[in-house]
Structure 1
Amino acid sequence: MIDLLKETGALLEGHFLLSSGKHSNKYVQCAKLLQYPDKAQKAINIIVKKLEGVDFDIVVGPAMGGVIVSYELGRQTRKPAIFTERVDGKMALRRGFHIEKGQKVLIAEDVVTTGKSSYETIEEIEKQGGNVIGIACIVDRTTERLGIPIYGGIKIEIDTYDERNCPLCKSGIQYEKLGSRNLKK
């Protein structure tokens, strides 16, 4: 997995504002990897192998990062794949997508750091009567347990900082915001 990330330029160094609101000196831009269908297939296949024996009915990817991941995961596991998107700042199922009561749902993400998008998606799934069984992701950047199984293609430890304690901010280095969540600069 690390080779796929490196050869596609998905591992970035600098100063980044993450979707969680935290800052980091590294960023994993999975869209750079996912632009190549053959490489996306290989990356997701690593996750599929980790999911052997895991029972689920449907895959749900939070937009934006989870859309392609959920599609490819659904294709490889022969499960339906849908996505949530933000409506008035909250994750929601739209476009006629729905979860049947009691369905076992696997969330699919590109990168999981704090689990914020996943938790918002879990809320919507549970509201619909679904049971979330885990989170599948290309990159697991978590530093704390999320209380739900994570099936990551790779576990990467990257430093993150609160804005007030960010050494990069203190050094005067401007940050980039590459994620899809609307945060103020």
Structure 2
Amino acid sequence: MNQWEVLEILERERAVQKGHFLLSSGLHSDTYVQCARVLQHPHLAESLADELARGFAGLPVDVVVSPALGGIIIGYMVAMAMRRRMVFAERENGRLALRRGQTLQRGERALIVEDVITTGSSVRELMELVESKGGVTAGLGAIIERGEDRDFGVPKKVLLRLEAPVWEPDACPLCREGLELEAPGSRHLT
């Protein structure tokens, strides 16, 4: 599956939205990708996950780690394709944490799987969490990476690089135009 096929799936499912959006990173954009519109269809989630898993064939991975809420479905499907365990991190007191009895063992090699990477702050936070539990980040997979190709120091597979502008709130031209701001993500900053 190439990036154009991924984009076609996203557009067909109306996952790529235009407007004025507050991203989970706190940045503003005129483009939002609601991956849940695609991942609600198991056959599409499976196709995307299989493609991500193929990108890590031969890489030693013990566990897949994803952030709640957006990364859970794609992380679970990648784990299923790789026949590996999957855990997810949730926000607790503003930081990602493993809850609900989920743990990592010392030395476990974790593949971090995200739906969308915007600034990379959640990825870095997940890498810190894995390390704090004694694990090692073996790689990173995502359906989409917005903007530039970021280096996290581990093997990375991204299905689609999406060029979409982002702005700091005080420099947002859409705010200056008075367009209503929507916050469709699972983590709303104020």
Q: TM-score range by the shorter chain?
A: over 0.9
Is it true that 1:169 corresponds to 2:165 in the alignment?
no
Deviations 1:30-88 (A, max 9, x none): 01111110111112222122222322111001101111111100001111111011111
Tell me, what secondary structure is at the counterpart of 1:177? Answer: coil
Q: For residues 22 and 42 of structure 1, what CA distance do their matches in structure 2 show?
A: 30
Equivalent position of 2:27 in the other structure? 22
Tell me, what secondary structure is at the counterpart of 2:71? Answer: helix
2:134 is aligned with what amino acid? G
Is it true that 1:115 corresponds to 2:149 in the alignment?
no
Q: For residues 147 and 53 of structure 2, what CA distance do their matches in structure 1 show?
A: 20
1:96-115 mapped onto 2 (5 Å cutoff)? 96-115=101-120
What is the aligned length?
184
Equivalent position of 1:183 in the other structure? 189
Q: For residues 48 and 113 of structure 1, what CA distance do their matches in structure 2 show?
A: 21
Asked if 1 retains the 8 angstrom alpha-carbon contact of 2:67 and 2:114, the reply is yes
Cα RMSD for the two superposed structures: 1.3
Asked if 2 retains the 8 angstrom alpha-carbon contact of 1:11 and 1:27, the reply is yes
Q: By how many angstroms is 1:115 displaced? A: 1.4
Q: For residues 38 and 83 of structure 2, what CA distance do their matches in structure 1 show?
A: 22
Q: By how many angstroms is 1:29 displaced? A: 0.5
5+ long unaligned stretches in structure 2: 1-5
Asked if 2 retains the 8 angstrom alpha-carbon contact of 1:4 and 1:43, the reply is no
Tell me, what secondary structure is at the counterpart of 1:82? Answer: strand
Equivalent position of 2:72 in the other structure? 67
Asked if 2 retains the 8 angstrom alpha-carbon contact of 1:115 and 1:146, the reply is no
Q: By how many angstroms is 1:96 displaced? A: 1.4
1:26-175 mapped onto 2 (5 Å cutoff)? 26-143=31-148, 145-148=150-153, 149-175=155-181
Give the stretch that moved more between structures: 49-58 or 60-69: 49-58
Q: For residues 55 and 92 of structure 2, what CA distance do their matches in structure 1 show?
A: 32
**TM-score for the superposition, normalised by structure 1:** 0.94
Matched-pair identity in %: 39
Q: For residues 27 and 98 of structure 1, what CA distance do their matches in structure 2 show?
A: 32
